[in-house]
Amino acid sequence: MGNKQTIFTAQQLDAYQDCTFFTRKEIIRLFHRYRDLAPQLIPLDYTSGPDVKVPYELIGSMPELKENPFRQRIAEVFSEDGEGNMTLDDFLDMFSVLSEMAPKDLKAYYAFKIYDFNNDDYICKSDLEKTLSQLTRSELSEDESRLVCEKVIDEADLDNDGRLSLDDFQHMIGRAPDFLSTFHIRI
Amino acid sequence: MSLFPGGGVALGKLGLTEEDIMDEIESGKRDLVKELVAMSSREQIQAIRVLPMCLEDKKHIRSQVHDSKLSKHGLQLTCFTDCSEQVSRSFRRCGANVVSARQAMKLWQGTMKEVGGKFGTSVLSYFIFLKWLLMFNVFSFLINFGFVTVPQLIQPPNKTAAVGFRGLELLTGAGYFNQTVLYYGGYSNGTIGNEPVYDMQLAYFFTIAAYLVLCAVSLIYSVARSFQKNFVLSTTGSAWRLLCSWDFSITSEKAIRQRKNNLRVQLKESLSERSQRAHISTSAKLKQFGIHLGTWLISTALALASCAAIYYLGLYNLEVIKDSQDSISLLTEASTLLLPFVVSLINLIIPLLYSLINKTEKYSNPRTQIYVIILRNVFLKMGILGILCYYWMYNVPTTISCWESFIGQDLYRLVIIDFIFSMLESFFGEFLHNVIGTRCLPSLGVPEFDIARNVLDLIYAQTLAWIGIYFSPLLPLIQMIKLFLMFYLKKVSLNQNCQPPRRSGRAAQMQTIFIALLFFPSFVGALSMVAYTVWSLKPSEHCGPFQGLNITFEAVALWMDRQGSVSESMWPVWIYNNVIKSELFFYLISLIILVLIFFFWQITQGRKLLITLLREQIVNEGKDKAFLLDKLQKLQKEKQTTASSQRPYRQIPQSFDRRQEIEPDYDQDFEDLPGRPLPEEDTGPVGPPFTSALIQAMMARRQAEEEEEEGY
């Protein structure tokens, strides 16, 4: 557990450790998971901070994300270019927020961004309908889907502007104690 | 920490230059760095970790904080600050190494991940609960073994006619095991060693007392924490289900498909619930009430009947044993197994009857149904344990000579037979159910893992272990082995036979209820029984560490007297005489606690009122915000039309739409949803005017500043 690894410099590892919820060992283990996705693309030596990205198709094929209905949105939210191609930083950030040590507010912020399909800082009815279709295999009829979305907005919209802002969402999450354990991917 | 409006704003829509926005964001960052520099290192790290920014920005902020910290201390000895930085960094590294070492030693980490991935969080909670109970037993075994058994093994007491080892001991716990350190009877009442005298009586008493007190503290703390986290303002309704309940940790395709189906079914149910609620007539209500009453009567009758049966069986058992105390034949010994067998059989069959009865009832809320089943099972199990305790406390001490060992043996038998029945239950309940459900009767279906029933079984087993600590100090070892094997047994059965649960239930609330059940009837009951034994019953005359005393607690009283006469250390004696023995002290404490409870209750009432008031305020603020932004845009529009030539870089589009909702393109296919703003949205009804209230406010402020400058 000493300074035997040659992948990162000590400063890089310290920076990663301070900015994510992972320990050194986990960061190195995650690096190897990242590298396994595209071994010919990712160098073993990150001391010079190379700028490489793993394309979204490979990220989406990870066993932890493969079946998740929101994997594309997750990759987009955490990737720098907004399209799902992730650098090592994005990768670590993603799993750090989705780990069990991240606090509720941080998770709620990112969950909000994931469910906000059109990236306008509000979850409006269309975002909810898209979420619903992802979660129920598009088998609810249009009427039912519309009714459910209306119900959601009725219950959760506090400032009555017809859509959910981050505050509304965080307030609703505050009343759902399961959220911390369900918004969690083990790696 | 401030949240930046950075993230998802499509700047192109507003037509602002990047410069203005970047300037504002930079100044925001500078404020953030200033805040961070003012904190201590550990707080800094925690604060940086929870910033909602991408990793690169966080690293950037971190380096800025470091630089400004260094520049602040620039005047002081750089060597010193360097050294202290190194030291604190190496401490942090050490701490991180310790944490990762602890994590590597965590038991069953891989299995838990696998189970969580296939079956979801609620089934995983059963295994986490099992692991937690295992920790209690490991701790108990270690301190009992260390403080009570090991000294006794060094100087074993004189044994009377030892019986040879026959195979039956493993099941009945009697015979060869009778005189060993497994039971109370195997301990002497003397002292061990010469100069630092180790008093076995005090060791026995204080070890068990210390363990029970620690358990109580740990349980109370867990219940309180769990309650605080999970029972705050619980929600109902589909908002929660849609946005919060999707379990991201499930990785198996089948499980996910199932979840999606369940969610759909639940949503459909909740939509139809609304229409159904109004249509219950009085006669139907009366009928339902009658059914509920009937089922409660039946279940109570069943519970009482089983308790009576167990009591009379126990008495009969006592008769058989009493006659042949010393030379117990094989048959008599085997007949002692009858009582545990019947108890476990009752524990197996009656809950099944309860769930059958439950199916005839209709509850408006599925959660109420689960609570009712849990309540009935708890009554049954605690009733059985209660009647057994009564039998042990009243009938056994008067009949049998070394009665504590006998109770210890009874408990040993109960624990072992309970384990055997759990294995059988898994086999019949899950394996056969699966086979029948898939081959013979497809309508029956694949079984689900019944979390409530399994957790209640665990709680029952743990209660037995807690009761048994006084009578059989090594019983935690048996319980440990049992829990260990149970983990693997349940895991295998789960993987082979069960499907993921259909209802995505309130896992967190169920956790709280289970921990509360573990504390309230289970631990408190065990504690009261041990307390009653220690304070009221006369220990047996010829065996055990408390032989010859009137009550067990007398050992402490005698010790205090001895200390008092030696008069070297007066304060424990003073505490004993004035605090523990005096009733006034306990009255005062109870009174103070009641007053405090009343105060806290009033505070919670006040807070509830505050919450409703704040909610109203949020709604009003929302309306104010909408009104003010409206006004802001009107004013800016006016400014635009008057000064459009002077400010070419602020291009707010003329086709200004004040709609509060965005109407997106419904025709778009749901499959390929990019996260980017669609290029078509630039021309159409552009710029949701309320997209970034902050951006608007910043613009207005900038304008106001510039006007001020111009004004000078």
Taking residues B46-67, report their average pLDDT.
87
Question: How many contacts, defined by CB atoms under 8 Å, are there between A and B?
Answer: 243
Residue B8, pLDDT score = 39
Residues of A in contact with B232 (CB under 8 A): 174-175, 177
Residues A169-177, mean pLDDT to the nearest whole number: 80
| Percent share of chain B, pLDDT over 70 | 81
Which pLDDT belongs to residue B440? 80
Mean pLDDT, chain A, whole residue set: 86
A37 touches chain B (CB under 8 A): no
Residues B50, A63: C-beta atoms closer than 8 Å: no
B463 vs B545: which has the higher pLDDT? B463
C-alpha dihedral sign at B494, B498, B504, B505: negative
Region B109-132: mean pLDDT is: 85
Name the closest residue on chain A to residue B227, using Cα atoms: A177
Interface with chain B: mutation pick from A14, A18, A61, highest number of B CBs within 10 Å: A18
Q: Mean pLDDT over residues B72-96, rounded?
A: 70
CB-closest option in B93, B264, B688 to A140: B264
Strand pairing partners for B199? B191
- Beta carbons of B391 and B314 less than 8 angstroms apart: yes
Token pair belonging to B632: 């802001």
Higher per-residue confidence, B160 vs A174: A174
Higher pLDDT, B166 or B670: B166
Rounded to an integer, the average pLDDT of A25-46 is 89
Please determine, for residue B109, whether its predicted confidence score (pLDDT) is greater than 70: yes
Contacts with B106 from chain A: Cβ below 8 Å: none
Q: What is the mean pLDDT of residues B551-578?
A: 80
Mean pLDDT over A143-170 rounds to 83
ipTM of the complex: 0.88
pLDDT at B651: 44
Rounded to an integer, what is the distance from CA B621 to the centroid of its chain? 38
User: In chain A, which among 7-36 make CB contacts under 8 A with chain B?
Assistant: 14-21, 23-26
pLDDT level of residue B690 (50, 70, 90 thresholds)? very low
Q: What is the pLDDT of residues A89-114, one digit of tens each?
A: 999 999 999 998 888 889 999 999 99
Which residues of A are less than 8 Å from B690 in CB distance? 161
Reply yes or no on whether the pLDDT at B42 is more than 60: yes
pLDDT 10s digits, B211-262: 999 999 999 999 998 888 776 655 556 666 777 778 888 888 888 888 888 7
Token readout for A82 is 């907004």
Quickly state the pLDDT bin for B31 (edges 50, 70, 90).
confident
Judged against a pLDDT cut of 50, whether residue B13 lies above it is answered with no
What is the Cα–Cα distance from B417 to A104, expressed in whole angstroms? 44
pLDDT-based confidence at B694, cuts 50/70/90?
low
Mean pLDDT over B506-520 rounds to 86
Kindly tell me if the per-residue pLDDT of B58 is higher than 50: yes
Does residue B530 or residue B700 have the better pLDDT? B530
Q: Is the dihedral of CA B680, B683, B685, B688 positive or negative?
A: positive
> 3-class SS at B163?
coil
Q: How far apart are CA B136 and CA B139, in angstroms?
A: 5
Q: Using the predicted structure, report yes or no on whether residue B14 has a pLDDT greater than 60.
A: no
- Distance in Å, alpha carbon of A39 to nearest chain B alpha carbon: 23
Range among A141-155, B232-246, B303-317, B690-704 rated most confident:
B303-317
**B4 has a chain A CB within 8 A of its CB:** no
* B599 pLDDT above the threshold of 90: yes
- Could you tell me the pLDDT band of residue B650, with boundaries at 50, 70 and 90? very low
B positions 67-96 inside 8 Å of A (CB) = 89, 92-93, 96
Whether the pLDDT of residue B551 is over 60: the answer is yes
pLDDT at B489 over 70: yes
CB distance B173 to B416 below 8 Å: yes
User: Which pLDDT value is given to residue B105?
Assistant: 59
Dihedral sign for Cα A85, A90, A92, A96, please.
negative
Query: B70 vs B222, which has greater pLDDT?
Result: B222
Quote the pLDDT of residue A138. Answer: 67
Average pLDDT over residues A37-41: 89
More confident residue, B246 or B419: B419
DSSP states along B182-198: TSGGG--SSEESSSS-E
**Does residue B304 carry a pLDDT above 90?**
yes
Looking at residues B596-619, what average pLDDT do you find?
92
Q: Determine what percent of chain B is predicted with pLDDT higher than 90.
A: 26
Indicate the SS3 state at residue B460.
Answer: helix
Q: What's the gap in Å between the CA of A87 and the closest CA on chain B?
A: 10
Query: pLDDT value at position B624?
Result: 87
Q: Is A143 in the B-facing interface, judged by CB distances under 8 Å?
A: no
DSSP string, B63-131: HHHHHHHHHHGGGS-HHHHHHHHHHHHHHHHHHHHHHHHHHHT-TTHHHHHHHHHHH-HHHHHHHHHHH
The model scores a pTM over 0.90: no
Instruction: For B681, name the nearest residue in chain A, comparing CA atoms only.
Output: A118
Residues linked to residue A123 through DSSP beta bridges, in sequence order:
A164
- Taking contacts as CB-CB distances below 8 angstroms, the residues of chain A near B117 are 186
